[in-house]
Every structure is written in C-alpha cells, then in structure tokens.
Amino acid sequence: MQNKTTATNRYAFLPVNDSRKRRVRGLWIRNGRYYVQMRVLNAAGIMRPRKLPLKAINLEECRLEMAKKLLAREQGEILPAPAARPSLAVCCDRYLSFYEGVPDAGKRASTVCRERGNLSNVRRYLGAVRVDKLTKAMVMGFIEQRLKSGVKPRTVNLDIIAFRNVLKRARDDDYLVKLPTDGVKQLKVNTPMRPLLKPEELEKLFGACRTECPRTGGLLADYLHFLTYCGAREQEALRVTWDQVNFERKHVLIGADGLAKNRTGRAVDFNARLEAHLRDMHARRAPDSRFLFPSPRRKAGEDRPCLRLRSALEAVRKKAGLPHVGFHDLRHFFASYCVMSGIDFKTIAEWLGHESGTMLIDRVYGHLAAGHKQLMAQKVSFALPSVSPPAPQIESATPR
C-alpha cells in the first residue's frame, strides 16, 4: 500500500493503492490518517458523499473497519452531517421572516418593522460573521462604532435588544450555546424629566386646535381631550370603537383589539370629565364610522381610523406657544393628577395598562404639580406632640 503524503499534498485527500498499485475504492488518506467515503444523509435528509475518519493504521484494518461502517449506515447508526452554521445576516432574515409570516407569533407588525431597522445597523457591522463565531468583543466594537457615529445611547440599546432576540432564536436552533451579548450592559440614558403640563397650558392647546387646523382641528381637540382624561397611548386610542364605550357600565375598553403594547386590553372607568366628553362626542359622532376618531381622508363607504395626528399637533403646539408637547405628555398628566387625587397606585396601573405594577407609576408618571407639593409642605409639622406623664400608681391598703 502506497501513501502519497508529500509536503505539497499533506492536507489534501489522496486515493489509497494496495501493494499491487490498484486503487482501493472508497479509501482516502490525508496527513497520515485514513478516511472512508460513503453516501450518507446530510442535514437536509439528502444522500450525499461524506468522508468518515477511520482508526485503522493499515490496509487490512481499513477494509475491516470500512465493512463495519457500511453495516452501521444500513442500520441507521451513522448520524447526518451537522448543518453548516449560518452567518448573522441569514439568522436576521430567518428571524424577521418568521414573525412577518406568522402574525400570531407574539410581535406586532410595528415592532417587527422597528426591529428590522435596528437589525440593519447590526448587519452592516457583523452581518458577514458566522453566528457561532461572534464574540463579546465584537458586540462591544459594534456599540463603540455606533456611539462614535453620533447615535444616541437609547437607540444603541434598542439595536442590542433586537440583536439579542436574533441570537436567542439562533440558540434555539442549536447554532450556538452561549450568547455573545451575555454580560453586555445597557448604556445609561440621561433623559431629562419634562415638566408636568399645567391645566392652563392644556386649555391654550385645546383652543388653538380649531383656529390652526380648520380641517382636523375638531378631531384633534376631541383626541387630545380623550388622552388627557383616560391616559391612553397614542395608537391604541386611535383604534377605539364606539362598541367599546359602555355608558351603562361607565367604562371604555382600551386595547380590546389585542394590539396594545402588552397585547392585553383593559377597562378605564369613567371619571366625570371622561364621561362628559364621550357623551358629547357620541352625540355628534360620524354616522358612517364605528371609530371614535375616524380618518378625515376616508372615501365613501370606507371606514378606517385616523392613523396620525402628529403634524397637526406640531402646528397647534407652535400656535399655543408651548416649548414641547407630545401625546405621551397627556398620559403623564392623567397619571400625575390621579396620584394627586389620592387614587391608589394599583388602580392607576390598571387604567394605564402597566404590567409592571405600581413602581413605574411612582418613578416615571408620578409627577406632582408645584401647587400640590406646596400644599403638602404646609402640612409638615416639627412640633412634637405633648405627652402627659403617666399617672402614679397607688398601692393598695389591703393587708397582705
């Protein structure tokens, strides 16, 4: 048997000949080790040629071990070849296509769209790397590059969250064991707390609606009042329909379509202003729409909600002379005035649709108006209550 293992072909598979220089079918040698080539199932279930290493050190042992390998193949004891590890870009595509193709998989379309944008940033930097070759140092390099390009820390955190979701899916597919994002902490985000809107500022905002936006001013005013009195989020409020307003039970259902942030609906009980506002809106509602805030651009016979009012709000805000007002500020206003009205945090959390409970109300939404805090300060007393000395005990005169 001749083994051609010269320096030039040391790492190449070379055919093996017997002592009479005849080719031994299916037997190869590389760097002094023998391999048998046979057709076996690959990861896709297709029969393909594959070279399997042998422990034999001579031709006689090779032939005996080859026979055993063939028998093991017939009995199904030879496992398919492991699938090749895909690149991160391929994993991103599989992750997004899954959630786009399965609407009930647990992610809203808006969330998938946002994650696609986040993952496009990751792919530009790490897309060509095989997913099992990613390291924590590569992740930190990506973060550093994004920060140097002027991206805000909060945006980088969102990129890493989407990146981690893709890696978790790759781990479920057995492409890797440990996530390279393990131990990567979120960047600190310094978000200045915006002051709580004052009631007089809100009145200026409401008053500017009709004068600045003749076409959508009435719709915007109704919408702003609704957000102020129930604390709903921007998009979930636009999708509320009249059959979700129950005047008999005195509540309105928010997120009943399952598209709320936590995908669960909630009932917001009527306060006096919310009930009065909804009754007024109901009396003048559009007869051809089931939505509280129908689209002003809908065609005849079409019923769809208004999708965006941000440009209208921007124009009204400038007219009112307010530095900045967003729809989420009205949610803060509602929560803060609920706190100052003495409503317990658990009830407020249920109205707002918070799964995290009362802590978020206390830390994020619990703004207090200056007048309320000054009123509370007047109740502080540093005078210790007078304590009368205990009455002396009189011993009984009864003889022992």
Query: Could you give the 3-state DSSP secondary structure of residue 368?
Result: coil
CA atoms of 301 and 113, how far apart (whole Å):
30
- Mark residue 220 as left, alpha or beta (left: phi above 0; alpha: psi -120 to 50; beta: remaining): alpha
- Rg (alpha carbons) of the chain, rounded to whole number: 35
Residue 29 backbone phi and psi in degrees, to 5:
-135, 140
The pair of three-digit structure tokens given for residue 340, joined into one six-digit string: 């100052």
Question: Residues near 224 by Cβ (< 8 Å), separated by ≥ 6?
Answer: 202, 205, 206, 209, 313, 330
Label residue 144 by pLDDT band (50, 70, 90).
very high
* Order of strands, sheet of 245-246, starting from the edge strand that comes earlier in the sequence: 245-246, 251-254, 266-269
Question: Residues near 321 by Cβ (< 8 Å), separated by ≥ 6?
Answer: 204
Q: Is the pLDDT of residue 195 over 90?
A: no
Residue pLDDT, tens place only, 211-230: 777 778 889 999 999 999 99
pTM beyond 0.75, yes or no: no
- What pLDDT is attached to residue 400? 44
User: By 3-state DSSP, what share of the chain in percent is helix, strand and coil, each rounded to 5?
Assistant: 45, 10, 40
Q: Is 281 exposed, middle or buried (0-12, 13-18, 19+ CB in 10 A)?
A: middle
Give exposure, 55-76, as e/b (b: 16+ Cβ within 10 Å). Answer: ebeebeebeebbeebeeebeee
The pair of three-digit structure tokens given for residue 370, joined into one six-digit string: 């200056």
Residue pLDDT, tens place only, 62-76: 999 999 988 888 887
Question: Residues near 358 by Cβ (< 8 Å), separated by ≥ 6?
Answer: 345, 346, 348, 349
Higher pLDDT, 5 or 178: 178
Contact 380, 373 (CB under 8 A): no
Question: Residues near 152 by Cβ (< 8 Å), separated by ≥ 6?
Answer: 189
Residue pLDDT, tens place only, 224-271: 999 999 999 888 999 999 999 999 999 999 987 777 666 778 899 999
- What pLDDT is attached to residue 264? 76
Residue pLDDT, tens place only, 323-379: 888 888 898 888 888 888 888 888 888 888 876 655 555 555 555 555 655 665 666
DSSP assignment string, 276-315: HHHHHHHHT--TT-SBSSB-TTPPTT---B----HHHHHH
Residue 319 backbone phi and psi in degrees, to 5:
-65, -40
Higher pLDDT, 39 or 400: 39
Q: Is 190 exposed, middle or buried (0-12, 13-18, 19+ CB in 10 A)?
A: exposed
Choose the most confident range, by mean pLDDT, from 7-21, 129-143, 186-200: 129-143
- What pLDDT is attached to residue 5? 46
Q: Is the pLDDT of residue 41 over 90?
A: no
One-letter amino acid at 287 equals P
Please identify which residue in the block is written with the tokens 């379509």: 257
